[in-house]
Each structure stands twice: as C-alpha cells, then as structure tokens.
Structure 1
C-alpha cells in the first residue's frame, strides 16, 4: 500500500490512525485530510518524537494496514 491510496481513502483509514495514535483527535485527523507530512507533525507534537521517529512510525503503520 502506498500513501496515495491512504490519502485518497482517508475517511476509511482515519479510524485506524486514531487507534494507533490515540492522543490525536478526530478533528485533527479530519483537518489533515490524510496528508502524511501533517500527520508526522501531529505525532511529533503530541508524542514528543523527532521527525525521523514520526516518519518511521507512519511507515511501520502503513506496513501493518
């Protein structure tokens, strides 16, 4: 699966993202509309991760869904 597929079907994947990163809100996930860079920024902000850690988490998540 690639990010374009996730972004194109964000409403379907949003719940899975919320389950993975529970500190993010439904409204925040609606606002980013599946944009990977913005998701990484939210993960950094809420979880105190570096940009590299956030991107790695997203890649790992993509591999599992």
Structure 2
C-alpha cells in the first residue's frame, strides 16, 4: 500500500496500527492525523528507535494488506468501478446496473 491510502483513510488504520504497535495511543494517533513524518517520529519515540529505523519498520508494515474498513469504503468501490471502465463495451456506462446478472430488483 502507499502512504496516500493511509493518509486518506487514517482512522480506518487505527486497529492495524494498534495491532502492530500495541503501546500506541489512539488519542495520539488522532493528533498525527495521517502526517507521515509525525507518525515516523511517534513510532521512533514509542519504540526507542532512530527515525530511520522506525521509517523502515513502517515500510515493512505498509507491505501488508489494506484493512477491511478501507477496502469496504464506498470511495474505494467507486474507484474500482471507474477502473473497470476499460472492460465495459463502448456506449455502456460502468456505473449502470447490469440486469443480465439477474440480481436487479432483488433485496
């Protein structure tokens, strides 16, 4: 994942951050508000590391998967739908319902 995913969905990453760094504090995470430099400094202070070592630890953590709260965000869905436009036949809107799947009108 990239930092902009984290920054745009900062609150959704709290659980993932607390899983990785259990000594982190949610109130302090709120203050950081997705600022990458502040997060690096925070993790360095929290773990007693140099900022460079904390940066590397964060990079390794970022290689993991996006939290489900982020993946399930409607903005993520709309982005995925927009990317699918290249597979939709010309003249058809990628946001239209597709009745041939047989689920239109069902609750």
Scaled by the length of structure 1, the TM-score of the pair is 0.91
Counterpart residue number, 1:3: 3
Please list every run of 5 or more consecutive structure 1 residues that lacks an aligned counterpart in the other structure.
none
State how far apart, in whole Å, the 1-side matches of 2:11 and 2:30 are: 8
Aligned residue pairs: how many? 65
Please state whether the residue corresponding to 1:18 is helix, strand or coil.
helix
Give, in whole Å, the separation in 1 of the partners of 2:15 and 2:64: 14
Provide structure 2 residue ranges, at least 5 long, that are not aligned to the other structure: 66-107
TM-score, length basis structure 2: 0.58
The structure with the largest alpha-carbon Rg is: 2
Q: How does 1:1-65 map to 2 (within 5 A)?
A: 1-65=1-65
Higher relative contact order (CA 8 A, sep 6+): 1
> Which has the larger share of helix?
1
